[in-house]
Structures are given as C-alpha cells and as structure tokens.
Structure 1
Amino acid sequence: MTVAGRQGRLGVVFIHGFNSSAEMWDPLLSRMRPDEALRDVTALPFSYDTRLWQPSPLRQIPSFDTVADSLKEFLVTEAERFDHLMLVCHSQGGLVAQRSLTRMLVEGRGKDMARILRVVLLACPNNGSQLGMTLRRAVLPRNKQEQQLRPLDQQITDTQRTVLRDLVNAREVTERTCPIPFSVYAGETDNVVTPASALGAFPDASVLPGDHSGIVRTERCFATLRRLMLSALGSGPATGQDPASADPAAPAVQGPAPTALLTAPEPVEAGPGLAQAAPEPGQAIPKSPPVSLPSTVDIVRVAERVPDMDDPDFRRQVVALVRRSLAPRAGFSAGYRAHPRDHLLEIVERCQTHALPGVALAAFRDTVVALRPDDAATAELRAMIRDPE
C-alpha cells in the first residue's frame, strides 16, 4: 500500500461514522500496508466533525449536507490526483457518501464521478437506527446528525432513492447519472444497525461477522475489502503502463453463450504443464517449483476481454473444466460472484493459492484456449501464462 501523499493507481477514501474518527480505520490499514498485492492502493482517510454534543456556543455540529459538501471538496482536492477511486464507509459515513454523490448529480457532475469504481457500505443505517432512539431524542435534541439517523427520515429516503436510480441502476454516464456499483454489508451481531436496515434495497448485499464497531476488524471484512480493491485495480491500466496505451474495451460477445455447465463438453486436453504424474493416494501433494507467475490483476485484465467471459454460465463452465483438469492434484473450487470481474478475481486467486499454482494457472489458460481458441485476448493469455517448469 502506498503511503499518503504518493500517487498510487487506486485511491481508497475511508469515511468513518457517527461520534467516531479516522483513527477507527487504523487496524485495517495496518493489515493493508505489508500486503504486496495492495502496493498500488493509497489510503485516503476522510475526517469530519461528529460528536454527541457541542459545548461551545461559537461552534455547531455540522449537518449531513455540510459534511457531504466537505467530502465533495475532499474528492476534488486530496483525491484529485487519482484516476480511480473507491469509497469505503462505516455506519453514518455511508449516509454521508450517498448524500455527497447525489449532490454532485444535482450539480450535473455525473461525468466527474466516473472515476469512482465502487462504494462499500459497512453497517450503514440505510433505513435508520432504532437503538436507544427515545433516549437519543431526549439527550441529543439539537444534534443534526442524530436526527437523520432516525428511521424513515425523509431526506435519507429521498437520497437512497436517487442513489438506487441514478447510480446503482444507471446504464450510462451522463451529467445526471453514473453507474457505480455499491457493495453493502451488515454486521452479523449488530444491534445498533440491524441487518434489515443495513442491507436496505441494495441488490449487492451480504453479511459479515461482527457487531457495529467490530465489523471493520474481522478477518473476513479485510478479505472482502481486499478482493474489492483488487477488482477496482483491475479496472485501470496495468502497473507501469501509460493510461493512454491501456487495453481497448472488451469486444462484443460473439456467438451463443453455453447453457450447460459440463454435460456436453469433453475434458480439456492437458497441455505440457498438466502432464505430471498424479500422486498416489495418501501421498503428499508436491509443491510447484518456484516460478515467476503473472499477477492476479494482470491475468484478470486480459481474461475479462475474452468473449462470453461476462456470461455467468461461461465462467461456471471454466471453473468446472479447471476442476476436472486438477481433480487428481487436490481439486479446485471457486465461489460464484455476480459481478464478472469479481468472479474472475475469485477464480484466478484460487489458482494462485492452489497447492500447484503454476499447474492451476496453466489449466485455467488451457480451458480458456479450448473454449475460445481464436480470440486475440486468448492469445495474449496464452503468452502471459507459461507452463510450470
């Protein structure tokens, strides 16, 4: 992970929640720093004033709109040097991010938002927080932020409607729309923001372990954010590549997509990298000799241009054929992901972490070559992934 102040390929803006601060992200950032796969990620913690009450008569607790405008300026100044951004928000921070993005749309800045590749909401009260609401009203009657944490707040409801219509479900970049995927997660044991409120009406929604504050410190949360960051990195040019020479857009899908997973196709013919003898039952699985393997992001960047790779049935067929090729060598599995790039990242990462990573990557390559032999992206994939030595 690059340090703040240096330009990386992806800037990740971390937005904290109610009565919190940017320091809440420190445990997560400490895990990101030594991760070599995230070397092109720069963390950009965003801070704003939030507290239970303001004792000074000369100051006030800012409203959501004020904080949203502050975030908007943060994206223009501190994050200006990044062509690709991702927003990671906890609790109230997710409401602030949504308000900021919708205000940008109102200003006709949809095209400026195209560099935001994903928004992640962790335990965000999309439908409000019920916990201690009566006490909160009595103790914090003038807290503008607390007021909008209440269920059925009209401004929050209107903001979410705009987010779903003009961001999540948008189809093109215009002055008033910009397709941005939202990944939304609830805390498994969170009683501050219940799963029903956190998940809201977002289509890409799931649950992570932890309570309201602990969700950001769990192993699965880090693994999830890491996967999403790698996915965002795969959207931009390769490391060291001039953006002007980045790969062209993926070609149009050619021919019908396969509808069956593995019933008709014959097993993929094993290439030289798959010709090793299978270990005897009970014998330890040999490790591949050290070999320089291409990065997961670089492989995905090429593989996602293969025709039909955006079709879920085609990707399932790839997984099934790789599994068949590797069955004598400890097998293979890769969980399904709805987003094509996320699914490809899952598949390739499973190859990279296989007991025989070189063999697994060769099986992935040979499967794609067998299914789409004549495509330019397939030829590039063949040249990129070498046979294990």
Structure 2
Amino acid sequence: MHDIKFIRENPSAFDAGLGARGLAPQSSDILALDADARAAQTAVDTMLATRNAASKQIGALMGKGDREGADKLKAEVEAIKTELPAKEEAKRSADKALADVLASLPNLPVAEVPQGADENDNAEVKRWGEPRPAEGAREHFDIGAPLGLDFESAQAVSGARFVYLRGAIARLNRALGQFMLDTHTLKYGYEEVAPPVLVRDEAVFGTAQLPKFAEDLFKTTDGRWLIPTAEVSLTNLVREQILDLDKLPLRFTALTPCFRSEAGAAGKDTRGLIRQHQFDKVEMVSITTAEQSADEHERMTGAAEHILESLGLPYRRMLLCTGDMGFSAQKTYDLEVWLPGQGKYREISSCSNCGDFQARRMNARYRPEGSKQTRNAHTLNGSGLAVGRTLVAVLENWQRADGSVEIPPALRPYMGGAEAITPA
C-alpha cells in the first residue's frame, strides 16, 4: 500500500513511478479523495468538540440556575447526536474510498529497474555454469515416468496439474527440500518455520495477493485461503508489531505445499511439473530496516544461487523490467535454470525487495535509533527454491543415456549415499 504523505509531497514522482509500470497518472484523483477524507474527519472532529464543549457548559449553566440556557445547549447536543452517525459514516466511506485506491496500485520501481513491457525487456546480469547441450536431451516427464513420476493416477484422482511422486523420485524430491532448508538455516542463518497453510483475509491482504489476485488463489468453504507461497504466512509473522531494532534483520525460511489456481494459464506448460496446482517450495523471507533492504536483497538472491551452484545446475540471474515485475515488488531478480530437455532457461526462483509496501498493509514497524517516531519495516521474499522445478532441473541436467539419473553429490547424503536413481 502506498504512503499518502509521500503522494501529497511528491505527486509528480508518484505518477512517474506509475508511468514506469505502464499506468496512467493517479495523484490528482488520489489527492481529491484524500481531501474528501480529511474534510470528513474535520467535520466529525468539529461536531465532537462542539458536543463536548456544550456538555461542559450545560453543567455550568445548571449550577448557575440558568435552566433556559442549559435547555438550549441540550437541544444542540441532541441535534449533534442525531447528525453525528451520518457524518461518521461519511468519514468511513471517504476513508475506504481512499484506502481502496491506494491498495489497488502496484509498488513503485526503484531507479535501477529497467523500463520495459514484458519478459523480453528483462536484463541479464549474471550467468553461471555451462549449459548441457539440448541435442538428444529428454524432457523431465519422459525421464521421470519410469522413475516414479505418475501424472496418470493424479489425473484420475485430482484432475489436471497434479502429480504423484513415487519411489525413488519421491525420495529425491524430499532430499531436495531438506537440502535447501539445511543450507538456508545452517549456512545463511534463516530461522526454520513450520507455518500454517490456511490463512485469513487479513494475511493475504497484507502480502498483497488480495484483493487484486483472488482468482489466482484457492478458498475454503469457511473463508480461509490456501497459501500460494509461504511468503504469506512468514511475512505476516510481524503484522501489527513494533519490532526491536537490534533484532533486525529477521530471516525466516519454510518448506510448505503451495496452492495456485493457475488462472489464465490455459495451454501453458500443460505437461509435466512446471505449472502445478499443488507444489512444494522453500521460501525465504527477510524483515529489515530501510537501510538494510538493498543489501539483504543481494544476500537473499545469493542464497538461492548457492543452491543451484551446489546442485551443478547452470542458471542466469535476470533483473526484471517494470512490465514483468510482481505487484508488491520494487525490484526483483529472477533466477532461470537451464533445462536441456526444453533447450532454454526457465524461472526457478524469484527474489523481491518490496520496500515498505507490504509492511504498511500489515502495520509492521520499527523505531529507528534515537527516534520517537516509528517507521514501516522493509520486507523481502524469495524462492529458495521451488522444489518441483528443481526436481525438473536435476532430472534434465543429470540424465543418463540408460534412463537413470545421477544424483548430484550434494544430495547423496540425503539419499543414503546412492549415486543414481534407476528405473524400477
């Protein structure tokens, strides 16, 4: 959510930020709503002040025996009591109109984000590893079928975009998740969390999936939401709190199932594990000060990159342009892993600095040293990594001609020392 004070003081800069996102100027309309909200607040405050002053005067007049004067003020107080609910409702309506607009607009990009319309305008900033030749490489669903990748049974039980992982491939998937968690906790100091996967409206609003992206989520019959990513549960750990400065940054990580409706994904990645309704992901979340967040973003992205490098998976880091960046982000790096079966790089992690955009929605604050005023925290989130997509990358990059898949050395301790998985 945007800071109305910033818009009042910097309307041109605000409109320029929206323009970089491809949106029309909004500051004039927002400031008009702000004026309405402040006028409604003033009207309520004036009536309350008048009522309180009159109530005090009534007692004084009664003490002097001025019953006529007291009765006149009592009539004024009664009139205010009658009119006040309408004024308060007008205030609530004006506040909601302003809040709805502020919540509907995406975060503003920072200066170094390249302008562009879509993924074709993203900027490559780093490349690691030597891509395996695509010629002769098979895709993961062909490699995985004899190893326990079972889409047919899942189709019968749950429908499209679900899968059963069985046998060796289920163990490999589990090993990937455990390796990621161990790396992030032991090497990078993230606190492991086992969070709820069902959350309330306030939590999903706090990380800005609501209200704009409700169709991308699954909702239960009792009004809760299945998390699309553990970002929701982890970031909301600090909602409605004033955080101790000396404890920042806070770093959380979790391995959870994630649930996405994939609205608008008809015809995209219909085969395989790339785009599922249910999938496992290791998420990283950091809560920082404004001064820390840029460095924390680099650190978080480096943690995700370390997983890929440890698994011997070639990748590239992309700085997303304004047209491809997520709603909450002010800057995003995507990590794209090489898939020889597809002969191209595909996204496997997205690491975003959201600035104070989410914290304002959650009322998560800290008090800077030497200041009496609080400040909204900065929040960051990143995939460390999407487990299913990492499984895809391992199958395709470590495939053998005989149908087996070599296990990356970093995973072998999690696989009982096995060096490969082979068809049953």
Pairwise same-fold verdict (TM > 0.5): no
Structure (1/2) with the larger strand percentage: 2
TM-score range (shorter-chain normalised) is under 0.3
- TM-score, scaled to structure 1: 0.25
